[in-house]
Amino acid sequence: MPIAWVTLLIIESFNWQITESNNNAKNLQVIYPDISENELMKDMKTISLSLGVECRYCHVVIKEGTVDTAPMYDAASDEKQTKLIARDMMRMTNSINTNYLAPIVGDKKSRLITCVTCHMGHITPVSHIDSLFIH
pTM attached to this predicted model: 0.74
The dihedral formed by the CA atoms of 114, 36, 39 and 93, expressed in degrees to the nearest 10: 0
Burial code (b: 16+ CB inside 10 Å, e: under 16) for 119-134 equals bbbbeeebeeeeeeee
Question: 55: exposed, middle or buried (C-beta count within 10 Å: 0-12, 13-18, 19+)?
Answer: middle
Q: What DSSP character marks residue 31? A: S
Residue 81 vs residue 1, higher pLDDT = 81
* 55-89: pLDDT as tens digits: 999 999 999 999 999 999 999 999 999 999 999 99
15 φ, ψ to 5°? -125, 95
* 84-121: pLDDT as tens digits: 999 999 999 999 999 999 998 887 777 889 999 999 99
Q: Is residue 64 in some structural domain?
A: yes
Beta carbons of 93 and 14 less than 8 angstroms apart: yes
The domain that contains 16 carries what CATH number? 1.10.468.10
Q: Is residue 83 in some structural domain?
A: yes
* Domains: count for the chain: 1
